[in-house]
């Protein structure tokens, strides 16, 4: 290896340079170039001061020659740095090597010129001149430590060519010899060498850390792009999922709705005991399918974030009483006592979501209780209202108490008994509680029973509300539908046939239409209808809601019932806001009959 190769730290014949050394060399060259631009005017200014101050202390010619050398080499250093600066973008080994040689040689010549002041100035100068040259040499030596940042092994030579000349002069050419000053300069030179070594290590470490951070930032940017791409894919998948849910919610509800209505018609046709038994089994299977289908779709909608809370004021005690009344037949069939102890209370929340939450909890309690009782209790607290569903059922082991809120997880139902549901009830309960910001807790002991509690915060309780009447009262007397002239509009032939057949078994006089065009022709000759049962999703341009609004000139809003398979909360709220009764498919025939009876109570002007 040549001397220059040793100084630069690599050979100009190398085909590649270590990436870390490449980065270190580039940054060191940038630092030295930047420093040289700033130092030129300082050197020129100091030189002029020295000429003025030492003019009478040394031969003027020698002083001018020394200063000229220093200023000329400083100017040459600047020119070299400008040359290097223009080529810092070229990172070839040859270019870096050439830059290092030029920078080192220019530094070496400058240190030689500064140290030569002992011979040009001090040999024939005064003590004041010796002091001035020594001070300049020390300052210059400190300034050259920047050169140690890249390769320390070239740095000692720069100190020797500068301070070394001063040590030789003060020890051998002064009379008497100034040994103490020479020793001091030697100590300073040793200290600067140690500092230079440390500076090289720190500089290299800082560049290494900077490069690692830069690589990490690049990696983070790449990861960010990957994440953004993944998010876009997930977003598109979520949109596809939402479209699928909308299609599934409508397309799958339609045949299920038709099957439910056909079953209602079949039940009214009577038959022998075996036929009624088969109808009951089909009814049970249909109800189970209905429940599982709704649970699955609801779970998907919660996970997709398309369900939002629609807050309104309602009687919570009436809601719970209605749920208990609905579950009572199943409890009685299982010989389970079902009690409710809830005082009158009005809350502001989403009635449909809260009804789903408590219905799931109460049904679960009945299904998992073999003997004893199930109770629904409310207890006032300072922070709100606690509604508890307490059962004396099988209980839940501690290791299962967090697992039961997972999708499809069931305790003591390894055989997947249909009578105990699909394992989605509590998963939906947890999601609803989170959406409504209500705390859900569980206390249970194996073989003793379980208590599920829902905490309704005080901000959701309406103080001073009129609790004298229940808006959910369901004990209204039934009205006879015989002879009621009813218009049914639905574009699904199966549903149209099923609804028409069911209504006729209830004694209704039914007129049907399968499209907006057919309905328009029908209304041109016949508008004497007492009830209208209208599908919302009829046509791309004309919706059932549009048709319902046009029928208001013939019937009050309450006598126009809209059935839809679109479970979007936005669409359902839009229909309700228009003042129409909305039935979400599939509609149980008992629910349909009750809705029609309620509608007939509204007088026609």
Residues 385-420 have pLDDT tens digits of: 999 999 998 888 887 777 877 765 666 544 344 444
Distance CA 135, CA 400 (A): 83
Residues 85 and 177 in one domain: yes
Largest alpha-carbon pair distance within the chain? 140
Residues 546 and 438 in one domain: no
The answer as to whether 230 is a domain residue is no
Asked if residues 150 and 25 have their Cβ atoms less than 8 Å apart, the reply is yes
Give the model's pLDDT for residue 477.
40
Start-to-end C-alpha separation, the chain: 112
Distance CA 113, CA 79 (A): 17
Assigned token pair, 582: 């909305």
Domain finish residue from 220, 244, 274: 220
Give the model's pLDDT for residue 469.
43
249: closest CA among 292, 294, 287?
294
The domain that holds 333 is classified in CATH as 3.30.565.10
Residue bearing tokens 């990861």? 223
281: closest CA among 268, 295, 263, 265?
263
Domain finish residue from 460, 495, 523: 460
- At residue 74, φ and ψ (nearest 5 deg) are -65, -40
Distance CA 289, CA 57 (A): 112
The answer as to whether 465 is a domain residue is no
Residues 16 and 153 in one domain: yes
Residues 181 and 81 in one domain: yes
Assigned token pair, 291: 């429940």
Distance CA 241, CA 197 (A): 64
Label each residue of 235-279 as H, E or C: HHHHHHHHHHHHHHHHHCHHHHHHHHHHHHHHHHCCCCHHHHHHH
The answer as to whether 26 is a domain residue is yes
Residues 312 and 357 in one domain: yes
Q: CB-based contacts of 205: which residues, under 8 Å, 6+ apart? A: none
Asked if residues 600 and 482 have their Cβ atoms less than 8 Å apart, the reply is no
Kind plus residue range of the DSSP H or E element containing 486:
strand 485-489
Assigned token pair, 102: 């030029």
The domain that holds 602 is classified in CATH as 3.40.50.2300
Tell me: cis bond preceding 176? Omega within 30 of 0 counts: yes
Residues 287 and 317 in one domain: no
Asked if residues 234 and 246 have their Cβ atoms less than 8 Å apart, the reply is no
- Contacts within 8 Å (CB) and 24+ apart, 575-583: 575/536, 575/545, 578/545, 578/548, 578/549, 580/545, 580/548, 582/536
In angstroms, what CA-CA distances link 106 with 96, 103, 530? Answer: 15, 5, 107
Distance CA 22, CA 40 (A): 28
Give the model's pLDDT for residue 418.
46
Tell me: cis bond preceding 556? Omega within 30 of 0 counts: no
Asked if residues 262 and 501 have their Cβ atoms less than 8 Å apart, the reply is yes
**Nearest-10 Cα torsion for 275, 280, 283, 285:** -110
Residues 428 and 332 in one domain: yes
The answer as to whether 225 is a domain residue is no
Residues 414 and 482 in one domain: no
Asked if residues 588 and 600 have their Cβ atoms less than 8 Å apart, the reply is no
In angstroms, what CA-CA distances link 441 with 134, 458, 473, 568? Answer: 84, 17, 29, 29
CA angle 139, 140, 146 (to 5 degrees): 110
Asked if residues 454 and 384 have their Cβ atoms less than 8 Å apart, the reply is no
Residues 76 and 209 in one domain: yes
- At residue 575, φ and ψ (nearest 5 deg) are -65, -45
Distance CA 214, CA 227 (A): 19
Low-confidence ranges of the chain (pLDDT < 50): 413-421, 464-478
Residues 442 and 491 in one domain: no
Which 3 state secondary structure label does DSSP give 349?
Answer: strand
Residues 400 and 483 in one domain: no
The answer as to whether 51 is a domain residue is yes
474 φψ region: left (φ > 0), alpha (ψ -120 to 50), beta (else): alpha
**Burial (CB count within 10 angstroms: exposed 0-12, middle 13-18, buried 19+), residue 400:** middle
The answer as to whether 495 is a domain residue is yes
Residues 48 and 167 in one domain: yes
The answer as to whether 234 is a domain residue is no
The answer as to whether 353 is a domain residue is yes
Strand partners, 347: 314, 461
Which 3 state secondary structure label does DSSP give 346?
Answer: strand
Would strands 439-445 and 384-391 be described as parallel, antiparallel, or unpaired?
unpaired
Domain that holds residue 370: 308-460
Structurally, how many domains does the chain consist of? 3
Distance CA 377, CA 548 (A): 42
96: closest CA among 153, 38, 27, 2?
27
- What sign has the CA pseudo-torsion 270, 275, 281, 286? negative
Domain finish residue from 429, 460, 491: 460
């Amino acid at each position: 290896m040549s001397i220059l190769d040793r100084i630069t730290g690599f050979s100009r014949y190398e085909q590649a340079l270590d990436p870390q050394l490449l980065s270190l060399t580039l940054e060191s060259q940038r630092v030295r170039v930047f420093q040289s631009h700033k130092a030129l005017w300082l050197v020129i200014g100091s030189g002029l001061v020295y000429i003025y101050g030492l003019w009478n202390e040394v031969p003027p010619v020698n002083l001018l020659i020394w200063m000229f050398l220093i200023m000329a080499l400083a100017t040459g250093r600047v020119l070299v740095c400008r040359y290097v600066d223009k080529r810092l973008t070229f990172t070839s080994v040859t270019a870096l090597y050439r830059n290092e040689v030029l920078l080192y040689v220019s530094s070496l010549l400058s240190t030689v010129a500064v140290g030569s002041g002992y011979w040009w100035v001090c040999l024939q100068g005064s003590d004041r001149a010796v002091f001035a040259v020594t001070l300049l040499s020390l300052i210059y030596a400190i300034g050259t430590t920047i050169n140690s940042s890249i390769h320390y092994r070239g740095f000692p030579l720069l100190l020797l060519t500068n301070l070394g000349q001063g040590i030789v002069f003060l020890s051998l050419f002064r009379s008497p010899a100034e040994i103490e000053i020479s020793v001091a300069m030697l100590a300073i030179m040793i200290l600067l060498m140690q500092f230079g070594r440390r500076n090289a290590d720190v500089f290299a470490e800082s560049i290494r850390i900077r490069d690692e951070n830069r690589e990490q930032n690049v990696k983070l940017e790449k990861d960010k792009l990957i994440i953004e791409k993944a998010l876009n894919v997930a977003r598109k998948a979520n949109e596809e999922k939402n479209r699928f849910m909308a299609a599934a919610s409508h397309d799958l509800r339609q045949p299920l709705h038709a099957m439910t209505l056909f079953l209602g018609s079949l039940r009214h046709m009577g038959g022998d005991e075996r036929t009624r038994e088969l109808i009951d089994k089909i009814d049970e299977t249909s109800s189970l399918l209905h429940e599982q289908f709704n649970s699955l779709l609801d779970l998907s909608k919660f996970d997709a974030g398309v369900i939002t809370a629609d807050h309104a004021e309602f009687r919570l005690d009436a809601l719970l009483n209605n749920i208990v009344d609905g579950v009572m037949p199943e409890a009685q069939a299982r010989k389970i006592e079902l009690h409710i102890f809830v005082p009158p209370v009005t809350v502001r929340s989403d009635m449909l979501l809260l009804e789903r939450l408590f219905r799931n909890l109460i049904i679960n309690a009945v299904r998992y209780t073999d003997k004893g009782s199930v109770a629904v209790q409310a207890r006032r607290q300072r922070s709100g209202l606690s509604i508890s569903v307490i059962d004396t059922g099988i209980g839940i082991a501690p290791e299962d108490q967090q697992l039961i809120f997972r999708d499809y997880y069931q305790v003591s139902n390894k055989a997947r008994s249909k009578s105990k549901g699909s394992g989605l009830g509590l998963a939906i309960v947890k999601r609803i509680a989170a959406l409504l910001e209500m705390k859900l807790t569980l206390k249970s002991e194996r073989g003793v029973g379980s208590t599920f509690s829902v905490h309704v915060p005080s901000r959701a309780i309406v103080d001073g509300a009129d609790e004298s009447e229940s808006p959910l009262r369901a004990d209204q007397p039934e009205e006879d539908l015989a002879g009621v002239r009813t218009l049914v509009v639905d574009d699904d032939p199966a549903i149209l046939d099923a609804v028409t057949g069911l209504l006729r078994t209830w004694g209704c006089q039914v007129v049907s239409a399968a499209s907006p065009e057919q309905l328009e022709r029908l209304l041109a000759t016949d508008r004497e209808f007492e009830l209208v049962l209208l599908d919302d999703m009829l046509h791309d341009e004309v919706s059932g809601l549009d048709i319902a609004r046009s029928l208001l000139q013939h019937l009050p809003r309450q006598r126009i019932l809209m059935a839809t398979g679109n479970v979007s909360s936005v669409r359902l709220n839009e229909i309700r806001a228009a003042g129409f009764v909305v039935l979400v498919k599939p509609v149980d025939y008992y629910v349909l009959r009750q809705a029609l009876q309620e509608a007939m109570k509204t007088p026609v002007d």
